[in-house]
A and B are shown apart, each in its own frame.
Chain A
């Protein structure tokens, strides 16, 4: 081109070109350039440039507006076509919409759940600066991970590390009774907190003293819901609340403030806050063993916790090591060299909910304490369900391609470009998925309550008010629309019109292999879910039916009895103390040694609280035994199936063979084995004459450690250190084993039975629970009699009791929940897969109506026609099953590995699965095949 110099301004040209974005762009640009050149040739180059820009500025808005206009016209046109298509194929539309709405609803639930789980503790003003101090320890006597750490660690940390700007600590105790006037609530949790907690967790004070919510030890802060419970509409500020707890005694506290309830997505939940009292410094102070507290530190903004964490090992060496050394009886260096360890680490506040390594309790498979595994699990299954629904859409769309092929052909002939066709099919799938999303929305609203009840959450769903929710739903719907629609769109638009209309195209063959693959995939997922359901269910019934070793059917667990006795006793005891001139707070501020000295100095007049309570409990036991309906009543330090677990201590004991073994110690009385109907395998029971730690019964698992010889007569040597004077010294005993008792299950089935030794109680020692074995027949009369006896000892307080077998069944909550989750998901998967199969089968039957008619005219039997239509599905079913079985086996085997006592995955699991899926295929395909095969060939061949 000669006229290079006359090139119009490039940027302007580019802008105009972009704005046109149209088939005529070239000519329009040419027109403008022609005029530009003319002005230019007249020698007014600058004028020409200005003119060009002027054109651009004036025209671009017009062109843009026009393109929006035409795009809208096209979408409306497409929508009309799409709605017409959807309406004329109502059956398929319904199949697709049902499947997709279920899929989208499930995905929405999954996303809501994930969002809820990840939202924990994110909204505090210092969320990203707060860390919880946690510890992992591995010692000869005990191993574990816990967030309950030494009480003084918080102070020591802030003394040693100036970068820590704030420390707060709290302990919780759930055994409080809260009382105001007539209203009394027992088993309430009270948090004893440092006042700085209000700042850390943004606790909002609704009324009362907001500057200093807990001004002294006599004040209490209650939550709004607790205020409602205790005071109703009255103003709680300044009122007196009495809280009683067995070991801290009774206090009358004044309500100093009412705090807003914590958001449900915080791991820190409270109803009653009291100020924590200075603790006596004892060995729990730095190790947190035998009861620690939760400690949170605040670091400056944007500072990394790793820098502090690096300094923690030497901190442990300085403060915790020496204390551990004392109780373990060897130096900290030695312990470390032999591979023992004690680690303090920082856990980000926002991780506390999801990282459940430091929480001891199981709260159900998808329960309150979160876990990343659960989230992933839930999300994956929900996505699978959604994919199954998308698969239905793809399958039905491609299968129907032959019936839409004329539509496509004619559209192409009249000049639709491939792009337009793709666009049209995508609009179609998007419309279907948007309709489904709207229905899903309604489903979520309807089932949200059930969902929350099941998970114990308070998730809300607000598709109108919450922008994230509506946006999330639309994004899911659009993604589904594009994903589900793109294959059919490309597949259908790829046909060439000549082939389409001349009929030379083998439409039936195209897409078949993909469709088969997708059907196999659907079977695969369904089979996998069914296998999982069956295995979880088997394990559940295995656990429920497993012989626990003891008979808990008529065993009553009297709950909290020792605590309440102690509490009742404490009033008497407190009276004695005040006669001597001490207040309870004086007493609590003493350490144990000083307390012991005081008791000593009182000349025995002030008896130990423990002793008095223990003695009265024995009297209670004797009176229980006088009730005719009671066969036996036993005290023990732990009860099978209770949350507080089994062992009170894990001791390393030396057997006569000289080797150290980890073993659990449990205190019992002579009635324990009879109450639980546990037979002795050899030797004798402990009896009244045996001193505490003077004779032991061991369980079978412990007996196995002794090898083939009978353990009876062997001795057990203690290495537990106890406080004597100023130092911890090994106490040491050397007592014989007198009997072996049958093994019994005391924890859930994840934990194997541990080697255990049973020792008689110390005289008047405190039991954890009381077990009462009832005689058959007169259960309700006997319970009434127990309550009467109870009230003679503790007037005006209700007795809490439960049956041991029911307590134990509660341990299976997690598995029960999991079996429900799997059951529910596999049901959904099956329903969706069946919808798809039903659609495919219906379509195939319809498409082959003439073929079937001809076959029947030529003498084909009903049976052979059914075969013709359904054989293919049975093959796909077979392949799907074949692929899913090994995968299901491996996955579920892995799950079962969590259990010490577990069922095996037998052939019956797969037979059941095969039977279920076969039944489904027969129902969804068979009906269509039967209808087609029974049809009168005259009807199908009449037209044409």
Chain B
């Protein structure tokens, strides 16, 4: 099994963070808040599609609401595979960060 891409990882983490409220607009807002970078809709949904095909997330439809032009939300949640993938990448990162802590990098910029 290959590693998640960075985008995939960020999206999975957002879904995990948002829990029951993980739908497209919320994920975008969340990522924009956290990263300070304005994500486009396409940049959210295309990796989401790919994650769905890989079986890391599953989705279900919510209720239509008026301020969405009468359209419903599609909520995403992590599958066990998705969670496993997140844990796996976290472990690798932890292991890498442990040997050389953040302190030494601070002076770079």
Contact = CB atoms under 8 A, between A and B. Distances in A.
B67 interface: yes
Contacts of B43: 58-59, 62
A481 B70 CA distance: 43
B25 A35 contact: yes
Interface in A874-923: none
Given A63-B46, A66-B49, A30 B73 contact: yes
Interface in B65-108: 65-74
A62 B40 contact: yes
A60 B46 CA distance: 11
B36 interface: no
Contacts of B70: 1
A533 B59 CA distance: 68
Contacts of A512: none
A26 B71 contact: yes
Nearest to A30: B71
B109 interface: no
Contacts of B41: 28, 31-32, 55, 58-59
A58 B44 CA distance: 12
Contact of A3 (B29, B45, B66): B66
Contacts of B46: 62-63, 66
B72 A27 contact: yes
Contacts of B25: 30-32, 34-35
A509 interface: no
B11 to A, nearest CB: 14
Given A2-B66, A34-B67, A63 B28 contact: no
Interface in B18-47: 23-25, 28-29, 40-43, 45-46
A298 to B, nearest CB: 62
Given A7-B69, A26-B71, A26-B72, A35 B28 contact: yes
A58 B73 CA distance: 22
Contact of B45 (A7, A28, A33, A61): A28
A146 B78 CA distance: 88
Contacts of A58: 40-43
B89 to A, nearest CB: 23
Nearest to A61: B42
A651 interface: no
Given A1-B70, A37-B67, A28 B24 contact: yes
B42 A35 contact: no
Interface in A46-73: 54-55, 58-63, 66
A58 B70 CA distance: 24
Given A2-B66, A59-B40, A31 B72 contact: no
A812 B25 CA distance: 84
Contacts of A31: 23-25, 28, 41, 68, 73
Contacts of A26: 71-72
Contacts of A54: 40
A29 interface: yes
A339 to B, nearest CB: 82
A942 interface: no
B61 interface: yes
A564 B61 CA distance: 101
Contact of A30 (B45, B49, B68): B68
A419 interface: no
A566 B69 CA distance: 102
User: DSSP class of A's interface residues: helix, strand, loop or mixed?
Assistant: helix
**A interface, how many residues as a size bin?**
20 to 34
Contacts of B65: 30, 34
Contacts of B67: 3, 6, 33-34, 37
B35 to A, nearest CB: 16
Given A31-B23, A31-B25, A60-B42, A24 B71 contact: no
A63 B42 contact: yes
Contacts of A27: 23-24, 61, 71-74
Given A31-B28, A31-B73, A59-B43, A1 B23 contact: no
Contacts of B49: 24, 66
In this complex, the member of B45, B59, B61, B72 whose beta carbon has the largest number of chain A beta carbons within 10 angstroms is B45
A899 B20 CA distance: 91
B40 A30 contact: no
Contacts of A32: 25, 41
Given A35-B25, A66-B46, A66-B49, A29 B40 contact: no
A311 B8 CA distance: 83
Contacts of A35: 25, 28-29
A3 B67 CA distance: 7
Contacts of A63: 42, 45-46
Contacts of B64: 30
Contacts of A8: 69
A2 B42 CA distance: 29
A58 B43 CA distance: 9
Given A55-B40, A55-B41, A1 B73 contact: no
A405 B71 CA distance: 39
A640 to B, nearest CB: 84
B79 to A, nearest CB: 17
Nearest to A56: B41
A419 B103 CA distance: 58
A28 B48 CA distance: 11
A34 B64 CA distance: 11
Nearest to B69: A33
Contacts of B59: 24
A33 B70 CA distance: 10
Nearest to A51: B38
Contacts of A61: 42
Nearest to B67: A37
Nearest to B32: A35
Contacts of A60: 42
Given A34-B25, A35-B29, A62-B40, A29 B45 contact: no
Nearest to B39: A58
A63 B25 CA distance: 17
A26 B41 CA distance: 13
A1 B45 contact: no
B52 to A, nearest CB: 9
A60 B43 CA distance: 10
A5 to B, nearest CB: 12
In this complex, the member of A8, A37, A62 whose beta carbon has the largest number of chain B beta carbons within 10 angstroms is A62
Contacts of B29: 35
A34 B66 contact: no
A1 B69 contact: yes
Interface string A250-292: 0000000000000000000000000000000000000000000
A21 to B, nearest CB: 13
A218 B67 CA distance: 96
A62 B40 CA distance: 10
Nearest to B74: A27
A606 B35 CA distance: 118
Contacts of A29: 69, 71
A109 B66 CA distance: 64
Given A31-B24, A31-B73, A35-B25, A62 B68 contact: no
B71 to A, nearest CB: 3
A537 to B, nearest CB: 65
Shortest Cβ-Cβ A-B pairs, 5 listed: A30-B71, A59-B42, A62-B42, A31-B24, A27-B74
Interface of A: 1-3, 6-8, 24, 26-35, 37, 54-55, 58-63, 66
Interface of B: 23-25, 28-29, 40-43, 45-46, 49, 59, 61, 64-74
17 contacts: A1-B70, A3-B67, A7-B69, A24-B45, A24-B59, A26-B72, A27-B24, A27-B71, A27-B73, A31-B23, A31-B68, A34-B68, A37-B68, A62-B42, A62-B46, A63-B42, A66-B46
Given A30-B73, A35-B25, A63-B42, 19 more contacts: A1-B69, A1-B70, A2-B66, A3-B67, A8-B69, A24-B49, A24-B74, A27-B74, A30-B72, A31-B23, A31-B28, A31-B68, A33-B68, A34-B25, A34-B68, A55-B41, A58-B40, A58-B42, A59-B43
